[in-house]
Amino acid sequence: MVRARPDIVRHRSATASWDMARARPHPAIAAHVRGYTGWDEHTAAPMRRRELPSGDIPLVLNLGAPFTVRPADAPAAAAVRVGSFVAGLHDRAVVTEHPGASCGVQVDLTPIGARMLLGHPMHELARRVVDLDDVVGPGAPRLLERLAAAGDWGARFDLLDAALAARLGRARPPAPDAVWAWRRLDASAGRVGVAELATEIGCSRRHLAARFRDEIGLAPKLAARVLRFEAAVGALRAADPPPLGVVALRCGYYDQAHLNRDVREFAGLAPRALMAGRLPADGGLAAA
C-alpha cells in the first residue's frame, strides 16, 4: 500500500515555530489505532498545555526533551518527569510541559488496542502516566532510534504501521463482550446506559464492570461519561458552537446544568471557557 502524504501544518512566529503532521494508520490496524500525530516544536519559553480527558489512549514516542506531567488540579511539585510514555484513560485534566523544544509522535489507541499492544490490564494504567519501557519492554529504545533515523514523517508513520501490526498480530485476543460493549459506547458517544449494555450482551452489570476494568480501565458508567464529555468538548470548540442548552441535548445530558457539572469536573473549567478557547495551561500546537 502506498501511503497518502501526511497532512502537515507549519507555524512560524517570533516566539514559536512548529510543524505538525497527521495521518491515518494502515487499514489493517485501524480498528485499534485511531491515528498518528507527529510534531517538532520550538518555543521561546517552556510550553505548558492542559490535556482534557478523552476515550483515546495516547502513546507518546518522545524524540526530544522529557516532559513533566501532573493533574491539572495538583501543585507543580506533584509533576512527574517522563520521556516516552503511555497514559491510561483519565477522568480529570492533566498538564504537560516541555522546556521549549519538543519532537515526537503520538499514537492514539483505542483502549482495546492499548490492552492488546501493551499486554497489561488497563486498570493498571487508568489515571496514570507510565514510562514506555515499563509497559513495552526492551524493544522501546530500538523503536525510538528507528523513528529518529527515519527521513520524514511519512517514513515514520510507515514504520509505526509495521511495528504496531506485528505486535497486534502476536497479542492476546480481546474479550469479545468487552469489544462489543466498548464499540457500542464509542459509536454512541457514551449515550448507551450500562443496564442496556448488560442486557444486550446477556450478562450481569457486575460481569460487565469486571470486563471493563480489565480491557478498558474505567467502570462502564464512567467511561460513558468521558465519551459524552469528549463529544461535548468537540461541540463547544467548534468554529460556530451552538448554545449550551443545544450542546447538552445533542450530547445526551439531562439539561444544561448536567453539562456544566461534567465539564467542570472533567476539565476543571466552565463550559463557556471552552467555547471561548480560554484554556489555562494550554497552547497553540494543541489547538491547531
Q: What 3-state class would DSSP assign to 137?
A: coil
Q: Is residue 15 scored above 70 in pLDDT?
A: yes
Q: How far apart are CA 62 and CA 51, in angstroms?
A: 17
Q: Roughly how many angstroms between the first and final C-alpha of the chain, as a whole number? A: 29
Q: How far lies 204's CA from each of 11, 68, 213, in Å? A: 52, 41, 14
Burial of 255 (0-12, 13-18, 19+ CB in 10 A): exposed
Q: Which pLDDT tens digit goes with each residue over 240-280?
A: 889 999 999 999 999 999 999 999 999 998 888 888 765 55
Q: How far apart are CA 227 and CA 39, in angstroms?
A: 26
In this prediction, residue 282 carries a pLDDT of: 44
Number of domains in the chain: 2
In this prediction, residue 98 carries a pLDDT of: 93
CA 17, chain centre distance (Å): 24
Given a contact cutoff of 8 angstroms between Cβ atoms, the answer to whether 233 and 271 are in contact is no
Confidence of residue 286 (pLDDT cuts 50, 70, 90): very low
Q: Which pLDDT tens digit goes with each residue over 84-123?
A: 999 999 999 999 999 999 999 999 999 999 999 999 999 9
Q: Is residue 288 scored above 60 in pLDDT?
A: no
Residues 155 and 215 reside in one and the same domain: no
Q: Is residue 285 scored above 60 in pLDDT?
A: no
CATH of residue 90's domain is: 2.60.120.10
Confidence of residue 151 (pLDDT cuts 50, 70, 90): confident
Residues 197 and 63 reside in one and the same domain: no
In this prediction, residue 139 carries a pLDDT of: 80
Q: How far apart are CA 66 and CA 125, in angstroms?
A: 20
In this prediction, residue 229 carries a pLDDT of: 97
Q: Is residue 189 scored above 60 in pLDDT?
A: yes
Residues whose CB falls within 8 Å of the CB of residue 150, separated by 6 or more in sequence, listed in order = 156, 159
Q: What 3-state class would DSSP assign to 65?
A: coil
Residues 115 and 204 reside in one and the same domain: no
| Beta strands 101-109; 85-87: pairing state | unpaired
Q: Is residue 216 scored above 80 in pLDDT?
A: yes
Residues 57 and 165 reside in one and the same domain: yes
Residues 17 and 142 reside in one and the same domain: yes
Given a contact cutoff of 8 angstroms between Cβ atoms, the answer to whether 117 and 172 are in contact is no
- Lowest mean pLDDT segment, chosen from 134-138, 163-167, 265-269: 134-138
Residues 73 and 204 reside in one and the same domain: no
* Structural domain ending residue among the three candidates 171, 190, 212: 171
Residues 90 and 144 reside in one and the same domain: yes
At 10, the amino acid letter reads: R
* Structural domain ending residue among the three candidates 171, 199, 219: 171
Q: What is the mean pLDDT of the chain?
A: 91
Residues 152 and 33 reside in one and the same domain: yes
Residues 187 and 256 reside in one and the same domain: yes
Q: Is the pTM of this model over 0.85?
A: yes
Residues 165 and 195 reside in one and the same domain: no
Residues 46 and 159 reside in one and the same domain: yes
Residue 226 structural domain: 176-275
Confidence of residue 138 (pLDDT cuts 50, 70, 90): confident
Residues whose CB falls within 8 Å of the CB of residue 287, separated by 6 or more in sequence, listed in order = 277, 279
Residues 37 and 158 reside in one and the same domain: yes
CA 270, chain centre distance (Å): 21
Cell numbers standing for residue 23: 495521518
* Structural domain ending residue among the three candidates 144, 171, 198: 171
Phi, psi of 199 (to 5 degrees): -65, -45
